[in-house]
Amino acid sequence: MQNLLDLDRPAMVEWFRARGEKPFRAQQVLKWIHQQGVDDFAAMTNLSKPLRESLATAACIRGPQVVADQRSADGSRKWLFQLHDGNRIESVYIPEPERATLCISSQVGCALNCSFCSTAQQGFNRNLDTAEIIAQLWTANRLLAADGEPPVSNVVFMGMGEPLLNLDNVLRAVHLMQDDFAYALSKRRVTLSTAGVVPGLQRLARESDISLALSLHAPDDTLRDQLVPLNRKYRIAEVLQACKDYVGEGRRRVTIEYVMLAGVNDSDTQARALAKVLRQVPSKVNLIPFNPFPATRYRRSSAERIDRFRDILYGAGIVTITRKTRGDDIDAACGQLAGDFEDRTRRRQRLSIEVTGGAA
């Protein structure tokens, strides 16, 4: 049975065509699913009754089960989703006066093993499929609508996983986010965050125009090798060049994410070194106060240190903001997403593939 959440518009058109139906049926159904949040063909009143009945025998519209729905004192909200195979992933909703951002996951766990990230502790299990990625947005909007709250206006791929290592499925989900018959989000409102997978960045540049964030976290390769092991494969200069190519002439700036770790990457010298490496790429910096998790060896930089670091970057002409910590009372802040799964055996396997370059 075909889950229609798995199909972007071209795939949906093809699916209807193969059933002998007109392409515009695909557009009608996309609107019912993604704009009205409908999961029942009987509710699709602009389709004939026989068509609704035949769809109900051949297809379904099924998102993951919501197994926890937690609200933070600051208004943010975290959903824990259970997938069909028992794996669990998390998404975080962050309302602000002018927008409502949903932070979504692209993989169950993550293979990159960044030393300051709690998702890394979980290891890697598998990629999410298109339906599992888009269903995070679909379900969020259904739950928000039920509460009379405004729908999601911005999506960031900053939850669990490395989106550029699951690019086929991420791109199909992005097509739906940007499709006028689905979520119609502009390129400014969809941001992909990456640890710097260079071939993925190059492909993204060819196939998408969404906003880009790079998790840099260190101004030099020696330190970045320790914080982001992927750096041993793709060095800072190469990653920044790929980001520069991505934003291109007249396009926007790349957001540089920099987690503030006390005594590790937060000195004045490192701020000046960061300003220097960023000269080569149109960028703005987001400083992220480190969010602790059990058994971490890191501590968050003090507020004074973060301000000082920001002032040095600012003085060098770089737009810099400190990301407000949201949802930390429910472990929903950056780097605190964990989800849950059983099989961790593939973690070592995947990491060695990524870092040694033996990927097929």
| Segment interacting with ligand SAH, rule: CB under 6 A, options 73-81, 236-244, 270-278, 285-293 | 285-293
User: Which residues, 6 or more positions from 195, have their beta carbon under 8 angstroms from its beta carbon?
Assistant: 112, 114, 162, 214, 215, 228, 230
Query: 238, 334, 342, 354: which one is catalytic?
Result: 334
Residue 193 near residue 210, CB atoms below 8 Å? no
Choosing from 6, 179, 257, 266, the residue that interacts with ligand SAH (CB under 6 A) is 257
Interaction between residue 218 and ligand SAH (CB under 6 A): no
Interaction between residue 255 and ligand SAH (CB under 6 A): no
Helix (H, G, I), strand (E, B) or coil at 320: strand
How many residues line the site for ligand SAH (CB under 6 A)?
A: 17
Q: Which is nearer to ligand SAH, 290 or 309 (CB)?
A: 290
Q: Which is nearer to ligand SAH, 27 or 265 (CB)?
A: 265
3-state secondary structure 211-241: EEEEECCCCCHHHHHHHCHHHHCCCHHHHHH
Q: CB 149 → ligand SAH: shortest distance, Å?
A: 24
Q: CB 230 → ligand SAH: shortest distance, Å?
A: 8
Hey, CA dihedral for 342, 346, 135, 8, is it positive or negative?
A: negative
Interaction between residue 124 and ligand SAH (CB under 6 A): no
CA-closest candidate to residue 191, choices 172, 166, 208: 208
Interaction between residue 335 and ligand SAH (CB under 6 A): yes
HSE-up of residue 228 (Cα within 13 Å, Cβ side): 25
60 is catalytic: no
90 is catalytic: yes
Interaction between residue 139 and ligand SAH (CB under 6 A): no
CA dist 6 and 2 (Å) reads 8
Q: Which burial class, exposed, middle or buried, applies to 264 when counting CB atoms under 10 A from its CB (0-12, 13-18, 19+)?
A: buried
| Amino acid, res. 273 | A
Q: CB 120 → ligand SAH: shortest distance, Å?
A: 8
Residue 100 near residue 154, CB atoms below 8 Å? yes
Q: Which is nearer to ligand SAH, 328 or 340 (CB)?
A: 328
Query: 90, 132, 162, 257: which one is catalytic?
Result: 90
Q: Which parts of 78-117 interact with ligand SAH (CB under 6 A)? A: 114, 116-117
Interaction between residue 193 and ligand SAH (CB under 6 A): yes
CA dist 59 and 152 (Å) reads 26
Residue holding tokens 């962050």? 94
Choosing from 195, 201, 212, 223, the residue that interacts with ligand SAH (CB under 6 A) is 195
Helix (H, G, I), strand (E, B) or coil at 149: coil
Interaction between residue 239 and ligand SAH (CB under 6 A): no
CA dist 347 and 120 (Å) reads 9
Interaction between residue 166 and ligand SAH (CB under 6 A): no
Interaction between residue 306 and ligand SAH (CB under 6 A): no
Interaction between residue 140 and ligand SAH (CB under 6 A): no
Binding site for ligand SAH (CB under 6 A): 114, 116-118, 158, 162, 193-195, 215, 257, 259, 288, 290-291, 334-335
The catalytic residues are 90, 334
